[in-house]
Homo-oligomer: A and B are copies of this chain.
Amino acid sequence: MEKYFDRLWPINRSLTGNGNRETLKILSEIADIKISEIPSGTECFDWTVPPEWNVKEAWIEDSKGRKIVDIRDNNLHLMSYSEKFSGKMKLDELKKHLYSLPEQPDVIPYLTTYYKKRWGFCISHNQLESLKEDDYSIFIDSEFNSAGSMTIGEALIKGNSDYEILLSTYICHPSMANNELSGPITASFIFNELKKNQQPRFTYRFLFLPETIGAIYYLSVNGNHLKEKIKAGYVITCIGDPGKFTYKRSRRGNTLADRAAEYVLTQTEKDYITEDFFPTGSDERQYCSPGFDLPVGSLMRTRYYNYKEYHTSADNKSFISFKAMEDSVKKYLKIISVMERNNYFINKNPYCEPQLGKRGLYPTVGSVKDTGMIVDAYMWILSYADGKNDLLSISEKSGIDFERLFEASNKLIENDLIEIVDKVNS
């Protein structure tokens, strides 16, 4: 992971541009990403894909020819989607184009001007304060190309069913670690792990999109398909720091996505946060917009807005932990594994309990004090094999571990005592 991180870190990503292309190409080494180009000017719902933006150079020089700010030092120095500019100005005039964070004077803030033409530089407040009266030269060699395109990535793992699990992440922030690279790297590694297994039950759809406009474009083309096919989904973001997990529920709040994620967190984490849906945040805003209302939540670690390094140069490699990120991959895989094996059943002998003993499923010496958990698991499944309770629900009711129940359900199927109600394909 660290190698990929180091290669992706210096690339200047934005809504569009060569940085995004390069990013997806590198991630393709891990996951089978199909890269598509969406022409600038494409209409999607209330939005339009913006012109492609690329930047070659961007700096400020003082009168002695010293580069005091240079995008080569940090991509965040240039406000994203800044227009071309070349000129000289006094400090007063320049300051109108300088952005800093007085309350965090050490860090460079991250700012964008996607839909309004202007230019600007982001610098630390300390540096801003230290600037002296002088004649400054400004040079921004950026370009907007209306004939360009927005680059998006998609990777698919076909399952037995055409019902889908959606995993969506974004590629549009330059050099930030938790609130950018943790997402696509984690998603790619999940893809890689899933691909190793035999064909899964569900089809898995991985999306690598510029935030907001990317998701809106994608939904404008595939929204109806997703509405029909998605059984659960997650937006993968802010997943690389070593903080505790945060699960943000889907708008409906009790979907399979929510139940599986919260179940796994309950079982495996001592301390975690769950939050009801709120309509700010990342692309769950689009997936859960009232017209779609998809079952999409978001499993994060420390959530956007909740850490002071967010959207600054301090959201960097030292803020995240590759060990935590590996753990995040495992957590997503665990949730997926629960969903893959979660079934509804019908008891084929619903009148009284079946005689487990004659099938070797019950101890032949009766009335030992503890019949052992496996018999309990049989009993719970048989009792709730009514087509209305899935294994997750039986696990919640009984307190018996999902794995144990899954094993027990297989034994009961083998013995023709229950059968699966196929709710996945319906």
A343-383: which residues lie under 8 A (CB-CB) from chain B? 347, 349-355, 357-358, 364-369, 371, 375-376, 379-380, 382-383
Work out how many copies of this chain go into the complex: 3
A215-B291 Cα distance, complex, nearest whole Å: 47
Contact A379 B280 (CB under 8 A): yes
CA distance A110 to B382 in the complex (A): 27
Q: Which of A367-403 contact B (CB under 8 A)?
A: 367-369, 371, 375-376, 379-380, 382-386, 397-398
B219:A371 contact, CB within 8 angstroms: no
Contact, CB under 8 Å: A292 / B379 = no
From B44, B285, B290, B350, A291 is in contact (CB under 8 Å) with: B350
A290 in complex: contacting residue of B45, B114, B220, B384, CB < 8 Å? B384
The reply on A77 being an interface residue by CB < 8 A is: no
Whether the pair A379, B45 counts as a contact (CB closer than 8 A) is: no
B355 touches A47 (CB 8 A): yes
Selected A-B contacts with CB under 8 Å, 29 pairs = A45-B351, A45-B352, A47-B355, A80-B366, A99-B365, A111-B367, A111-B368, A112-B366, A116-B357, A116-B365, A118-B364, A219-B352, A223-B351, A251-B383, A276-B397, A279-B380, A279-B384, A280-B375, A285-B353, A288-B383, A289-B352, A289-B353, A290-B350, A290-B382, A290-B385, A291-B349, A291-B352, A292-B352, A305-B369
Other A-B contacts than A113-B366, A291-B352, 19 sampled, CB-CB below 8 A, are A45-B352, A99-B365, A112-B365, A115-B357, A116-B364, A118-B364, A215-B352, A220-B351, A278-B380, A279-B353, A280-B376, A285-B353, A285-B379, A286-B353, A290-B384, A290-B385, A291-B349, A291-B351, A292-B350
User: Could you tell me which A residues sit within 8 Å of B by CB distance?
Assistant: 44-47, 79-80, 99, 109-116, 118, 120, 215-216, 219-220, 223, 251, 276, 278-280, 285-286, 288-292, 305, 310-311, 347, 349-355, 357-358, 364-369, 371, 375-376, 379-380, 382-386, 397-398
